[in-house]
Amino acid sequence: MEFPVLSTTLFVPVIGAILIMALPAKKTGAIKNIAAVSTLASLVLSLLVFIAYDRQQGSMQFTEMIPWVQDLGVNYALGVDGISIPLVLLTNLIGFSAVFASWKIEERVREFFSLLLLLITGVMGTFIATDLFIFFLFYEVVVIPIYLLVIMFGSSKRVTKEYAGMKLTIYLLIGSAFLLTGLIALFVKARAITGVPSMDLVHLASLDYPLTFEIMVFAFMAFGFGTLLSMFPFHAWSPDGYAGAPTAVSMIHAGVLKKIGGYGLIRIGLLVLPGGARIIAPVIAVLALGNVVYAAYICLSQKDLKYIVGYSSVSHMGYVLIGIAALNLISINGAIMMMFAHGVMAALFFAMIGNLYEKSHTRNVDDFGGLAHQMPRLAAGFMIAGLASLGLPGMVNFIGEFTIFVGAFSTYKVFTIIAVTGIVLTAVYILRALGYVLFGPRKPEWDHLQDLKGPEMVPLMVLGTAILLGGIFPFTIMDLINSGVGEIIAQIGTLYVGGVL
Amino acid sequence: MIGLSHYLIFSTVLFGIGIFGMLSRRNAIAVLMSVELMLNAVNVNFVAINRFVTSGQAAGQLFSIFVIVVAAAEVSVGLALIISIYRHRKSVDLNNFDLLKW
Amino acid sequence: MSTAAANLQLQDAVFVMIAIVTTGAALGVVFLRNIVHNALCLVLTFLGVAAVYFQLNAGFIGLVQILVYAGAISVLIIFAIMLVMDKEINQTNLPIPSLGRRIAGVYITALLVITLVLAIYFTAWPLATGAGAPFDAVGMLAELMLGDYVIAFEAAAVLLLVAVVGAVILAKGVEKQ
Amino acid sequence: MLEFSLHNAWLIPLLPLLAFALIGLAMHRWPSVSAMISILSIGISMLLSALVAVLVFSLSPGEIYEASVRWLSMPGLQVNMGMLVDPLAAVMLVVVTGVAFLVQVYSLGYMKGDPGIASYFGYQSLFAASMLGLVLANNFGQIFVFWELVGVCSYFLIGFWFGKYSARDAAIKAFVTNRVGDFGFLLGILFLQIVFGTLNFQELSAAIPGYTNAAVLLPIAVLLFFGPVGKSAQFPLHVWLPDAMEGPTPVSALIHAATMVAAGVYLVARAFFIFNAIPQAMTLIAIVGGLTALFAASIAIAQNDIKRILAYSTLSQLGYMMMALGVGAMTAGVFHLMTHAFFKSLLFLGAGSVIIGMHEEQDIWKMGNIAPKMPVTTWTFIIGALALAGIPPLSGFWSKDEILLGAYASGHTGLYILGVLVAFLTAFYMFRLVFVAFFGKNTAGRDKAHESPAVMTIPLLVLAVAAVLAGLVNSPLMHHVFGHFINAPGAIQPHPNTAIIVFSTLAALSGILLAWLIYQREVIKAEVIKEKFSMAYKVLYNKYYIDEIYGWLGVRLVDGAARVLFWFDIHVINGFVNLTAWFTGKSGETLRYTEDGQVQTYAIYMFAGVVIVLITALCGVFTALA
C-alpha cells in the first residue's frame, strides 16, 4: 500500500484542529503556530501532488479506496486528476494565507482556528472525493464552520453579521438541498439501470440515462451548484456574506468555496449528464451574462471595498459559467483556470482589505486616499490583486479569461461579445476603487497606519507569487487542466449546444 | 363462519374506541386506559394473523408478548408521571397542562 | 361432520358473544363518567381479549394477558386512581371541554375505522391452508425468545428494569437539597 | 556576432525585464543602483538591436527570422511567445531601444531628487521590456499580452506622481480608454482564432488572401482596428493622451510620443495584410487618421500648456501615420513613425528641459525669451520643430512628404488636401510655441531660467542629430533603402512628385511665416484674432468639449445605470430573498398557534396524518384494482 498522500493532505488540518482544541485557550501563540504548521504541511503535500501527478498518463491518480456503506455502494474514495489538482492547490494556498491573514485575532483564538482548519478540510475534501456521497458529506462539513465563523467573528456594516451569516448558510443549504435531490435521483436511476448500488463518479458517468431524466437532474444540479457559484439571480448571498464574514472566511469562501459550484458542475454535471448539459447550457450562458455585466455595473456604484470585491467576484463567476456553458475543451479549460485564478486573486484582495480594515476600522472607499504614501506594500498587494482582477496579462486571470473567451466565442458569438464588455467595466471599477484608496494626496489621519510586516506579508507573498507565476508560465497549470478536461471531453464525446444561437 | 376478517374488524373497533377515548377524555388516567385499549387491539391483530396466515409459527405471538412487556413498562412509567404531575399541580386534567404551547 | 360443524357454529356464536361483551366493556371504558367504573370496564375488556386469545389457539398469550393486564396493570391503574382522586367521583371522567376537538376526534376515529375496515376487506389475505391445527406454541416461543430474538428479549428486560426504576423515581419525587 | 544577436533577439526584451525584476525585488532601496541597472540593460539591448538591424538590412528583403516557444496551448488554441525579426521589427527595435536609452539617461537628470526614482526606473524597464516584446511578437496573442503590459506601464507612469488627483485621474482615464479599444481588439483576435484557427502572423498572411468572405473579414478588420484607435489615441478614443501629460516629461517623450502610442500604427503595419484585404477597412483607417490629424492640429493651436501642445501634435502626427497606412502607403506610415519618434521625443525632452529650467512652469505665455539662457535646449528644440513642420532636408520633411505623396497617388485627393492643411497647421502651432516660449516678449520668468545639466542636454543633442538625419534613409540620396525593405504586398510605392514636395514645403513655410508675423512681429495681434473668432477659439480651447461629453455620458449612462442596478439588486433581488425569509418567518409565526400545548391536539394531528396516509394508500390500491 502506497503512502496515502491525499488522506494525509486532507486530515492534517483536522489533526491540527484537534490539537488546538486540546490546548488551553490562553496559549494563542501555540494555537496560531499549530494552525500555520498544519496548513503549511497540507500546502507542501498538495504542491507535491501538483508536481508528481503524471500528466501523460492522466485520469485519477493517488487513488485511495476504503469500502464504507456497502449496501449503498458508498466508498471512502479519493483521487485527483487535472481538474481537481489546481483546486486542491488553490485551497491550500488560500488556507495557508488565511491563517496568516487572521494572525491578529485575539479573541476566541482556539475556536477560530479550529473551525478554520475544519473548514479547509471540508473544502479540500469536496475536491478530492471521487464518491458522490463523500463529496456531499464534505460539502456539508463546510457549512457549519462557515456559519459559526461569520456570526462569531464577522463584522456588521450595511447588514449585520448575523443576517449575513444566516443568509449565507441558508443559501448554501438551499443549494445543497437541490443538489442532494439530484444526487439521490442519480443514484436511484443508476441502480435501476445496473442493479448495483454505486456512488462512484466514474461508474455513474459511464451510464446512459434517458434524456428527460438528464435534463431534470441537470437542472437541479445547475440550480444547486449555481447557487453555490453565485449564479445570477441567486447571487444575493455573496456580497452580503463576504461583507459580514471575517477576513479568513471571505478569503476561503470567495477563493475556494464558490469554486465547488463550478467544479461540481463540470465533474458531476457535464461528466455524468452530458445530455442535460446540452439542453440547459444556453440558459446558464444567459444567466452568466447577468453575472458578468449586471454585477460589474453594480460594482461601479459600491463604496465598501468588500462589496466591490464581492460583486466583482459575482461578475467573474459569470466568466466561469459561460466557459462551462460553452461546452468545449477550450472553454472548460478556461473555466477551471479562471476558478484557480479568481481564487488566488479574490483571496489576496480580501486579505488586503481585511488588513486595512483591521487597522483603520473602515472599508469605505471615500474615507481613504493616498494610502500608497503610508503603506506601499499594502498598495502593492492591492495593485497586484486589482490588476489580476481586470485581467492584465502576466497575471493568471488573463489566461483564464482569454481561454474562456476563445472557447465561448466559438459557441456563443453574441453572448461572448457582451461578456467581453466585462473587461472594460472591470477596469473602470477596479481602477477607480484602487485609485481612490491608494492614490491622491497624503491624508494625515492615516499616518498612524503601519505597513504590512511580518506575518501579514505571507498572504501577499504566497498569493502574489501564485498570481504572477501562473500568469507568466501558464503552461504549468494549463497542461495539467488540459489533461483532465481532455479526458472528460474524450469520455463524453463531442458536446454541442442544443439550442441555436 | 368466523374468519380472519372478523377478528380484524373486532380489533379495529377496539382500536377506534381507544382512539376516540384518547382524543376526547380529559382525565389523564382515562387517556392512559384508552391507550391500553389500542395496544390490546394491536395484540389481537398479531395473534389473529399468526393464527390464520402464518399458522404453525409463533412469531406473531412472540411480538404480542413484547407488546405486553412494553405496555407494562409504559403503564408503570405513565402512571408514575401522572402521580408526579398530580403532586405538583393537584390535578390530572390534561386541559390544564399546556405549558409547552406556542 | 355435523358435530364439527356444530362445534364451529358454537365457536362462532361464542366469538360474537365475546366480541359484543368486550366491545361494550371498551365503550364503558371510554364513556362512563366514573373513573372507577372505567377501570372495572377495562378489566372486563382485558378478560374479553384474553378470551379471544384462547379462541385463537393462543392459550399462553391469553394467560399472560390475564396475569399481566387483568392482574397487574389493572391493579396499578386502580392504585393510581386511588392516589389522585379528590373530586366528586361521578365527575372524574369528563369529555374535553373543546367541542371542536371532540368533533375532530369523532371524524378521525370514523375515518380511521372506515378506512381500516375497507383495507381489511380489500386485502387478499394469504390464508394458510389447514390453519388452526394445534401446535406447541409455548415451546416455539421459548426457542424464538432465547434464539433469534434474544437481543430483543434482553432489551425488553432492560426496558422493564429501567421502567421500574424510572417509575419509582418519578412517583417518589426527587428530594430537594 | 550578428548571427548570435539575431538568434538571441529574445534577449532584447528579456534584459529590461530582468532589470525590472531585480529592481522590484531587491534593489528598490538603492535608487542610483536601480537607475544604473535599468540603463545598463537597455543599453545592451540597444546594442543588440543595432546588431540585429544591421544583419536584417544586409539580408535580402523579405527574408525573416522567426522562432517561438510554447506558452499556452491546448487542442485548438495555441499562443506562443515568439519572435519575428523582419525589417519592420528591426526598425522598431532600434527606435524603441534608442529612444528608451536616451530617455533613461535624460531621466537621471530630470528625476534627480525624486523619492520614487527606483520605482520610476523599474517601470521604465518594464515598459521597455513590454514594448520590445510587442515589437518582436510573431502572433496576435503575444501582441495582445504586451499591448496590455505597455498599457499598464503607461498607467503607472502617468500616475507616477500619485499624490496629485490629476495624475491619478489621468492614469485611470488612460487605462480605461485603452480598455475600450482593447475590447474590440480582443474580439477581433477571438474572431481570427475562430475563423482561421491560428494567431500567427505568417500563417494568417498565408491564409488571408485565399479567404474571400468579406462579411467575416470586415468585422475582423474593424474590430482589430479598435486596438490601434485606443492605443494610438485616434478619434474618438484620443481623450486620454493629452491628460497623460500628467506623467513625468521623459515618460511623455518615450511612451506618449515616441513608442507606445506608435504601437497602434505598428500593429496596423504589422497586420497590413488583413486590413489591405478589405478596402472599406482601409478607407475607415484613412478617414479616422485624417480626421484625427486635422482635429488634433486645430486644438493644438489654442493650447497654452507646452506639453499639451506637444500632446495634441502627437495625436495629429499619429493620425497622419494612420492616414498613410489607410491609403496604402505602408512604407510612408512606418517611416513617419520612425522619424516622428526621434523628433517628437526630442521636442518632449526639450520641453522637459524648459520645464526644469523654468522651475515647473508649463504655460508658454509665462516663459518668453529664454533662448539666451538655454541655448542648447532652444536650438535642439527648434531643430525638432523644423523637423516636425517638415522643412527640408530634416527628417520630418521626407516622411511627411511620402505620406502626402501616398495620399495623392492613391487617389485620395480629399485626404491629400487635408494633409497639406495639417502640415500648415503643424508648422503654425509649433512655431507659435517656439516664438512665444523661447523668443517671447514676456521676461518675467527669464531670470530664473537656467540651462539643464549635460546628462539632459547630451540626449537632446543626440536626438537632434537623429531628427536631422533619420529622414535620409528613405530619401533618393540613399536610394529609398527603407522602402525597399519595409514594404507589404499590396502597399503602394509612389514615385516622387516634385510638385507635391514644393507644395507641402510651401505650406509649412507659410505656417511658420504666419506664426512669425503674429507672435514675433505682432503684425497681426493674437488678441484680435481671438476676439474675432471667440466662438471658434473657445471650442478649440476646450478641445471641442469632447471630455465634457464623455464625462456627461459616463456619469449619466454608466454611473446612473450602476445606481439603478444597485437599487434593483438591493430592492428587487435581495428584496425577493428577504421576502421569502419574511414569508417563512410569518408563516411560522402564524402556524405556531396550532401548537396549543394540548397533548390531545397533537394526537389529533398525528392520527389525521395516519388517516391521510391510509387514504392515500387505499386510493393507490383502488386505482390498481380499477
Interval A6-30: pLDDT, tens:
999 999 999 999 999 998 888 888 9
Q: Which of D600, D602, D611 to mutate to test the interface with C (most CBs of C within 10 A)?
A: D611
Chain C residues near residue B1 by CB distance under 8 angstroms: 8, 12
Q: Which residues of B touch C96 (CB under 8 A)?
A: 24-26, 94-95
Q: How far is C118 from chain D (nearest CA, A)?
A: 8
Residue D86: which region, alpha, beta or left (left: phi > 0; alpha: psi -120 to 50)?
A: beta
Cβ of D621 and C101 within 8 Å?
no
CB A9 within 8 A of CB A49: yes
Question: Is residue D593 classed exposed, middle or buried when 0-12, 13-18 and 19+ CB atoms within 10 A define those classes?
Answer: exposed
List the subunits that have 3+ CB pairs under 8 angstroms with C.
B, D
pLDDT at A500: 36
Location of C-alpha cell 475563423 = D195
Taking a C-beta distance cutoff of 8 angstroms, is the pair A265, A225 a contact? Answer: yes
Give the pLDDT confidence score for residue A193 in this predicted structure: 87
Is pLDDT at A495 greater than 60 in this prediction?
A: no
D611/C108 CB distance under 8 A: yes
Distance from CA of A213 to the nearest CA of D (A): 25
Cβ-Cβ contacts under 8 Å for D353 (sequence gap 6 or more): D374, D377, D452, D456, D457, D460
Mean pLDDT per 10-residue interval, chain B, length 102 residues: 86 94 90 93 92 84 91 91 87 82 74
C37, C49, C164, C174: best to mutate for the B interface, most B CBs within 10 A: C49
Judged by CB atoms closer than 8 Å, whether chains meet at C115 and D604 is answered as no
A240, A301, A431 ranked by CB distance to D563: nearest:
A301
Give residue A91's pLDDT.
93
How confident is the model over D120-131, as a mean pLDDT? 91
B-D contacts (CB, under 8 Å):
30
| β-strand partners of B93 | B27
Q: What is d(CA C169, CA C30) in angstroms, rounded to the nearest whole number?
A: 30
Confidence band for A123, pLDDT divided at 50, 70 and 90: very high
- Evaluate whether chains C and A are touching (3 or more beta carbon pairs less than 8 Å apart): no
Helix or strand or coil: residue A22? helix
- Angle (nearest 5°) at CA A366 between A360 and A370: 70
Chain D residues in contact with C116 by the CB 8 A cut-off are 614
Q: Does C116 touch chain B (CB under 8 A)?
A: yes
Q: Is omega for the bond preceding A233 within 30 degrees of 0, making it cis?
A: yes
pLDDT over 60 (residue A459): yes
pLDDT band for position D1 (cuts 50, 70, 90): low
Q: Which of A50, A59, A63, A56 is nearest to A90 (CA)?
A: A50
For helices A305-325 and A274-289, the axis angle rounded to 10 degrees is 140
Q: What angle do CA A421, A426, A431 make, to 5 degrees?
A: 140
Mutation target to probe the D interface, by most D beta carbons within 10 A, among C101, C102, C107 is: C101
Q: How far apart are the C-alpha atoms of A434 and A442, rounded to whole Å?
A: 15
B23 domain-assigned = yes
pLDDT surpassing 50 at residue A498: no
User: CB-based contact (8 Å) between B96 and chain D?
Assistant: no
| A-interface mutation test, from D77, D120, D157, most A Cβ less than 10 A away | D77
Chains near D (3 or more Cβ pairs under 8 Å): A, B, C
Cis peptide before D209 (omega within 30 of 0): no
Instruction: Residue B63: list chain C partners with CB under 8 A.
Output: none
Chain center to CA of D326: 18
With 80 as the cut, is the pLDDT of residue D484 above it? Answer: no
Nearest partner of A129 among A70, A192, A33, A200, judged by Cα: A200
CA A371 – CA D192 distance, rounded (Å): 43
Which residue in chain B is spatially nearest to C128 when comparing CA positions?
A: B53
pLDDT digits (tens, 9 = 90+) for A34-86: 999 999 999 999 999 999 888 888 788 888 888 888 888 888 999 998 899 99
Residues counted in chain C: 177
A181-185, B43-47, C22-26, C119-123: the lowest-pLDDT one: C119-123
CA D284 vs CA D240, D400, D404: distances in Å: 21, 20, 18
C-alpha to C-alpha distance for A19 and A36, rounded to whole angstroms: 13
The beta-carbon neighbor of D168 closest among A302, A428, A439 is A439
User: C120 to chain B: nearest residue by CA?
Assistant: B5
Q: Do D596 and B19 touch (CB under 8 A)?
A: no
Chain A residues closer than 8 Å to D183 by CB: 420-421, 423-424
Mean per-residue pLDDT for A261-266? Answer: 90
Burial degree of A128 (CB within 10 A; 0-12, 13-18, 19+): buried
Note the pLDDT of residue D449: 75
Distance CA A327, CA A307 (A): 31
As a whole number, mean pLDDT of residues C98-124 equals 89
Q: What is the DSSP letter of A304?
A: B
Question: Sign (positive/negative) of CA torsion A50, A52, A54, A60?
Answer: negative
Question: Quick one: cell of D333?
Answer: 506610415
DSSP annotation of A295: I
Dihedral pair phi/psi, residue A61, rounded to 5°: -125, 170
Tens digits of residue pLDDT in A190-232: 888 888 888 888 888 888 888 889 899 999 999 999 998 888 8
* Total of domains in chain B: 1
Contact D342, D435 (CB under 8 A): no
Q: How far is C177 from chain B (nearest CA, A)?
A: 17
Q: Residue D150 and residue D129: Cα distance in Å, rounded?
A: 9
Q: What integer pLDDT is reported at residue D411 of this predicted model?
A: 83
Q: Would you tell me the crossing angle of helices A84-101 and A329-360 to the nearest 10 degrees?
A: 0
Can you give the pLDDT at residue D549?
Answer: 86
**Is D171 touching A (CB cutoff 8 A)?**
yes
| Packed helices D375-389 and D413-439: angle between N→C axes, nearest 10 degrees | 170
Lowest mean pLDDT among C103-107, D133-137, D184-188, D300-304: D300-304
Chain C interface disruption, residue of B76, B86, B97, most C CBs within 10 A: B76
Q: Is the model's pLDDT at C110 over the cut of 90?
A: yes
Taking contacts as CB-CB distances below 8 angstroms, the residues of chain D near C108 are: 604, 607-608, 611
At residue A463 the predicted structure's pLDDT band, cuts being 50, 70 and 90, is: very high
- Taking a contact as any Cβ pair under 8 Å apart, which residues of chain C between 60 and 99 contact chain B? 60-61, 64-65, 68-69, 72-73, 76-77, 79-81, 83-84, 86, 92-97
* Sign of the four-CA dihedral A376, A378, A380, A383: negative
pLDDT on residue A144: 87
Secondary structure of D590-621 in HEC code, one letter for each residue = HHHHHCCCCHHHHHHHHHHHHHHHHHHHHHHH
D563 within 8 A of A297, measured Cβ to Cβ: no
Residue A3, Cα to own-chain centre: how many angstroms?
Answer: 28
Neighbours of B55 (CB within 10 A): 17
Touch of B by D (3+ CB pairs closer than 8 Å): yes
Residue D120 one-letter amino acid: Y
Domain assignment present for residue B100? The answer is: no
Rg (CA), chain C: 21
Contact C115 D608 (CB under 8 A): no
Chain A interface test: which of D142, D149, D155, D190 (most A C-beta within 10 Å): D190
Closest CB from C101, C112, C122 relative to D607:
C112
Does the beta-carbon distance from D611 to C111 stay under 8 Å?
yes
**What percentage of chain D exceeds 90 in pLDDT?**
21
Peptide bond into D375 cis (omega under 30): no
Q: How far apart are CA C62 and CA B51, in angstroms?
A: 14
pLDDT, tens digit, 9 for 90 and up, residues D174-213: 999 999 999 999 999 998 888 888 888 888 888 888 887 8
- Exposure pattern of D440-471 as b/e (b: 16+ CB <10 Å)? beeeebbeebebbeeebbebbbbbbebbbebb
pLDDT at A501 over 60: no
Per-residue pLDDT averaged across D287-308, rounded? Answer: 89
pLDDT at A400: 92
Q: What pLDDT was estimated at residue D238? A: 87
pTM of the model: 0.85
Residue A499 has a pLDDT of 40
Judging by beta carbons within 10 Å of its beta carbon (0-12, 13-18, 19+), is residue D181 exposed, middle or buried?
Answer: buried
Q: What is the CATH number of the domain that holds B24?
A: 1.10.287.3510
**How does the average pLDDT of chain D come out, rounded?**
86
Residue C5 sits at the chain B interface (C-beta within 8 Å): no
Q: Is the pLDDT of residue A117 over 90?
A: yes
Domain-located, residue B82: yes
Q: Do chains A and D touch (3 or more CB pairs under 8 A)?
A: yes
Is pLDDT at C176 greater than 70 in this prediction?
no
Answer whether D603 touches B (CB < 8 Å): yes
Domain that holds residue B48: 4-95
Please indicate if any CB of chain B lies within 8 Å of the CB of D591: no
* C119: nearest CB among D610, D618, D625: D618
Residue B63, in any domain of the structure = yes
Chain A residue numbers with beta carbons less than 8 Å from the beta carbon of D186 are 402, 405, 420, 423
Residues of B within 8 A of D595 (CB-CB) are: 100-102
Asked if D618 and C96 come within 8 Å (Cβ–Cβ), the reply is no
Q: Which of D593, D618, D625 to mutate to test the interface with C (most CBs of C within 10 A)?
A: D618
Record: contact B102-D607, CB cut-off 8 A: no
Which residues of chain D does A423 touch, with a Cβ-Cβ cutoff of 8 Å?
179, 182-183, 186
Q: Is pLDDT at C144 greater than 80 in this prediction?
A: yes
Residue B87 resides in a domain: yes
Mean pLDDT to the nearest integer, C65-81: 90
What is the model's pLDDT at position A209? 86
What mean pLDDT comes out for the span D110-119? Answer: 86
Average pLDDT over chain A, rounded to whole? Answer: 88
Q: CA of D617: which chain C residue's CA is closest?
A: C119
**Does the pLDDT of residue A99 top 80, yes or no?**
yes
Q: Which residue has the cell 373530586?
A: C87
